[in-house]
């Protein structure tokens, strides 16, 4: 078996893995990034709704099982840059309260082992790295912050009108922070496809374009593509990780390093740890507490299509508006709460992919006549919500979201707000775990090794040379998009690794 060596092995080239690499490049350490996928091909299908949604061209062909044993193809995308190749570019900081303990409908959302202030400088760095555009001072829930690195993307007319209608209801809409190279001199072509599509112009602030590509020019950073980590191997007493077993284009390799950073995404990182069970760690690595794979969260996400039968919505880039007036609860129902933000344009082919019986002309008509909004609420961690590795190696996802009743009440309220804003019909569509886009929580961090897998710097309590740095570390999900928080904590962890290497 061929053996590769490096000083630091990073598994996964998504937000988490690339941010750690960014901090370590230039430290003298030889960094090897192992990525299961390849570069996404640049092709017309990148922005073709029929190819992306109808034919599911880019989604993994792997299947997972529901608890009932039904196989499904999850919305997992294995490419260099990870899920950010398809993400919607909303780059929010979590609120100060998101790091604190809270209760919703009687269920508990635990405190993080870090506070907003610990992440604040790294949030600022992540925003610079990803080129985030926004306007400080308008979002009523905004934590203390400095101005955004770039000015906010202006609203197009339909979104400006919606903003005005919300303001007329006494609400405080604001410019959504977004990582798109938009504006004078920018590369965004306003092609009309962004959220859930690949950008053909390099304008989307994704992990490959903004973080990894510049690093690959560095002599100490090496990327191995089509290199899937099968398991990690610990030494005899199960303390130190000594190697990763990797399948690279059909061949199995051993990769050795003194330090490992696992950033394969919340679900896959948990699976790799579970698959790495050995005599000294029979329940999987980093899993003395038994939490690995548990507390799987994904947000309560409801898409709302606000129909205006009398006007065509010709907006090219709608993701410029968000609303946090109900982030801490409705006036008469504090548990019903969350964020509201624009979705990318929903097209007929996307509607038909979810509802195949919709006649094409109707789907296309809806695609032209709706303004599309996402209502997002916190998914409360539940010990029984989990991803499991079955004895035969198959993967079962037993997802049990927490706080669904409160989210439904929140969505009812949001629909009423949209109706008052001039949309007589507001259709709803819930996104489930089949699209695990905001997956998190499966390798949670915490101060107590009995109830968490990682410490506050994402180091495994059980293994001094293993860090897990992706959505898996979240102890709770907040009600805002996860990518900027993953990036900020990964930059924090990377800075720590660099400092400790130097001493
Ligand atoms: C359609 C869509 C829209 C979204 N929109 C937003 C948004 O607007 N804002 C936001 O904040 N978030 C958004 N998200 C979520 C966001 O993209 C993710 O939270 C974030 O990218 C996760 O980063 P990560 O580093 O945790 O994991 P990933 O992005 O999953 O990266 C993990 C990497 O590891 C690789 N990998 C997996 N298994 C292995 C293995 N065994 N060996 C080697 N490599 C492996 C994967 O191929 C991948 O490259 C969206 C997601 C989707 C799918």
How many whole angstroms separate alpha carbon 210 and alpha carbon 208?
6
Give tens-digit pLDDT for 165-191: 999 999 999 999 999 999 888 999 989
Average pLDDT over residues 25-41: 97
Q: How many CB atoms lie within 10 A of CB 163?
A: 20
Residue 349 C-alpha to ligand 1 middle, in angstroms?
24
Condensed to tens digits (0 to 9), the pLDDT of residues 385-410 reads 999 999 999 999 999 999 899 999 99
How far apart are the C-alpha atoms of 258 and 235, rounded to whole Å? 12
pLDDT digits 0-9 by tens, 406-426: 999 999 999 999 999 999 999
pLDDT in tens, 286-345: 999 999 999 999 999 999 999 999 999 999 999 999 999 999 999 999 999 999 999 999
84 lines ligand 1 (CB under 6 A): yes
When pLDDT is cut at 50, 70 and 90, the band that residue 1 belongs to is: confident
CA torsion sign for 142, 112, 457, 212 is negative
Structure confidence by residue, pLDDT tens digits, 458-496: 999 999 999 999 999 999 999 999 999 999 999 999 999
What does pLDDT average to over the chain? 97
Ligand 1, atom nearest to 76 Cα: 53
Ligand 1 centroid to 352 CA: how many Å? 25
Q: Where are the domains of the chain?
A: 3-502
Looking at the chain, the whole-number percentage of residues with pLDDT higher than 70 is: 100
Continuous H helices in 318-434? 348-354, 360-369, 404-420
- CATH assignment of 3-502, given 3.40.50.1970, 3.50.50.60, 1.20.810.10, 3.30.70.20? 3.50.50.60
Nearest to 321 by CA among 342, 344, 345: 342
Tokens matching residue 117: 């202030």
Ligand 1, atom nearest to 37 Cα: 47
Give me ligand 1 centre to Cα 14, in Å. Answer: 6
* Residue 256 CA to ligand 1 centre (angstroms): 25
């Amino acid at each position: 078996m061929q053996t590769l060596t490096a000083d630091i092995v990073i598994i996964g080239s998504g937000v988490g893995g690339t941010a750690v690499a960014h901090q370590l490049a230039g430290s003298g350490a030889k960094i090897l990034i192992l990525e299961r996928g390849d570069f996404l091909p640049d092709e017309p299908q990148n922005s073709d709704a029929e190819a992306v949604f109808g034919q599911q061209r880019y989604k993994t062909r792997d299947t997972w099982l529901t608890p009932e044993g039904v196989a499904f193809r999850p919305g997992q995308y294995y490419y260099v840059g990870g899920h950010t190749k398809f993400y919607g570019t909303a780059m929010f900081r979590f609120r100060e309260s998101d790091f604190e303990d809270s209760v919703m409908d009687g269920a508990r959302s635990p405190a993080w082992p870090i506070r907003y202030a610990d992440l604040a400088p790294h949030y600022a760095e992540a925003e610079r790295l990803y080129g985030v555009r926004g306007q400080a001072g308008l979002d009523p829930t905004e934590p203390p912050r400095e101005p955004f690195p770039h000015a906010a993307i202006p609203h197009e007319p339909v979104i400006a009108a919606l903003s005005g209608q919300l303001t007329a209801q006494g609400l405080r809409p604001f410019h959504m922070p977004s990582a798109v190279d938009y504006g004078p001199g920018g590369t965004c072509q306003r092609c009309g496809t962004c959220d859930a599509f690949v950008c053909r112009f390099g304008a989307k602030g994704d992990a490959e374009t903004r973080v990894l590509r510049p690093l690959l020019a560095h002599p100490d950073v090496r990327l191995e593509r089509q290199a899937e980590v099968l398991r990690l191997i610990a030494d005899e007493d199960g303390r130190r990780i000594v190697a990763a077993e990797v399948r690279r284009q059909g061949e199995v390799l051993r990769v050795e390093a003194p330090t490992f950073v696992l950033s394969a995404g919340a679900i896959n990182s948990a699976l790799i740890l579970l698959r790495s069970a050995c005599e000294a760690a029979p329940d999987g690595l980093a899993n003395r507490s038994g939490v690995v794979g548990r507390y799987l969260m994904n947000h309560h996400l409801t898409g709302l299509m606000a129909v205006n039968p009398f006007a065509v919505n010709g907006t090219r880039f709608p993701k410029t508006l968000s609303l946090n007036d109900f982030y801490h609860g409705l006036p008469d129902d504090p548990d019903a709460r969350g964020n509201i933000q624009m979705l990318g344009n929903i097209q007929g082919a996307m509607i038909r992919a979810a509802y195949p019986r919709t006649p094409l002309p109707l789907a296309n008509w809806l695609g032209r006549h709706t303004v599309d909004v996402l209502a997002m609420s916190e998914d409360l961690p539940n010990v029984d919500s989990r991803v499991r590795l079955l004895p035969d190696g198959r993967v079962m996802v037993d997802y049990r979201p927490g706080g669904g009743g409160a989210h439904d009440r929140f969505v009812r309220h949001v629909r009423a707000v949209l109706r008052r804003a001039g949309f007589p019909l507001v259709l709803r569509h819930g996104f489930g775990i089949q699209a695990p886009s905001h997956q998190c929580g499966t390798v949670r961090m915490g101060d107590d090794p009995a109830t968490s897998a990682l410490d506050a710097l994402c180091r495994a309590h059980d293994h001094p040379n293993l860090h897990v740095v992706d959505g898996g570390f979240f102890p709770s999900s907040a009600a805002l998009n996860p990518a900027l928080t993953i990036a900020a904590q990964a930059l924090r962890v990377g800075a720590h690794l660099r400092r400790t290497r130097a001493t």
